[in-house]
């Protein structure tokens, strides 16, 4: 019966920052419906079948999917930018280099890359990468405009505060190996 599938993070962002709703007759999504709206007239088909986010969830039209199980190992690499001086990206060590467009909403596409550990590049300067490494070693957090880490638990989470809607999760052992690589390439200072 579920028509819309969201990760918990996306559902929470929709709930907090939008007025998402939808028509269960024609499946048109609307963005001006209060969470508890019921049987509002659809601007697309005219049926009184528009419901708000919370109502859609209660009716079983929304499924909240949990993130996939964490891979046992997800080795990471620090990659030097080919285009910008003093700029680095944290990527999956093993990937096929594919780029593709993925539909993320009606009339909206996102560029995807197989090397990303979240849904956006986790990137920053040498100083920011060294601070990321320190946060991993200290089992703490570090947050900058385009790169962030939360190493207070296992798995360790990486994301871009500016661009990510999902956090990438990696086992602590792989994050520690990344911290060591960053320190070897960029120093501790």
Give me the residues paired with residue 50 across strands: 23, 40
Residue 97: which residues within 8 A CB-CB, separation 6 or more? Answer: 114, 115
Q: Is the peptide bond before 155 cis (omega within 30 degrees of 0)?
A: yes
In angstroms, the CA 67 to CA 120 distance is 16
Residue 129: which residues within 8 A CB-CB, separation 6 or more? Answer: 78, 88, 90, 147, 182, 186
pLDDT at site 2: 67
Residue 34 phi/psi, 5-degree rounding, is -60, 155
pLDDT at site 138: 97
Placement of tokens 């661009």 in the chain: 163
In angstroms, the CA 115 to CA 45 distance is 42
pLDDT at site 189: 61
For residue 130, give Cα distances in angstroms to 83, 91, 122, 147. 20, 16, 14, 11
Predicted TM-score (pTM) above 0.85: no
pLDDT digits (tens, 9 = 90+) for 62-113: 888 766 555 568 899 999 999 999 999 999 999 999 998 887 776 777 888 9
Domain spans in the chain, listed from the N-terminal domain onward: 4-65, 76-186
pLDDT digits (tens, 9 = 90+) for 15-47: 887 888 999 999 988 889 898 999 999 999 999
Q: Are 92 and 77 in contact (CB under 8 A)?
A: yes
């Amino acid at each position: 019966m579920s028509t819309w599938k969201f990760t918990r993070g996306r559902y929470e962002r929709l709930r907090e920052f939008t007025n998402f709703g939808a028509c269960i007759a024609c499946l048109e999504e609307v963005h001006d419906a209060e969470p508890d709206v019921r049987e509002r007239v659809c601007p697309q088909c005219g049926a009184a079948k528009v419901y708000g986010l919370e109502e859609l969830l209660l009716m079983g039209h929304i499924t909240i999917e949990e993130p996939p199980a964490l891979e046992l190992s997800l080795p990471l690499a620090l990659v030097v930018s080919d285009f910008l001086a003093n700029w680095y990206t944290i990527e999956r060590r093993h990937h096929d280099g594919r780029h593709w467009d993925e539909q993320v909403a009606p009339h909206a596409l996102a560029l995807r890359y197989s090397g990303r550990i979240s849904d956006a590049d986790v990137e920053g300067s040498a100083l920011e990468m060294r601070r990321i490494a320190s946060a991993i070693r200290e089992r703490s957090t570090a947050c900058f405009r385009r790169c962030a880490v939360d190493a207070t638990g296992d798995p360790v989470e990486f994301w871009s505060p500016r661009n990510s809607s999902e956090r990438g999760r990696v086992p602590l052992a792989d994050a520690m190996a990344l911290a060591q690589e960053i320190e070897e390439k960029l120093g501790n200072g």
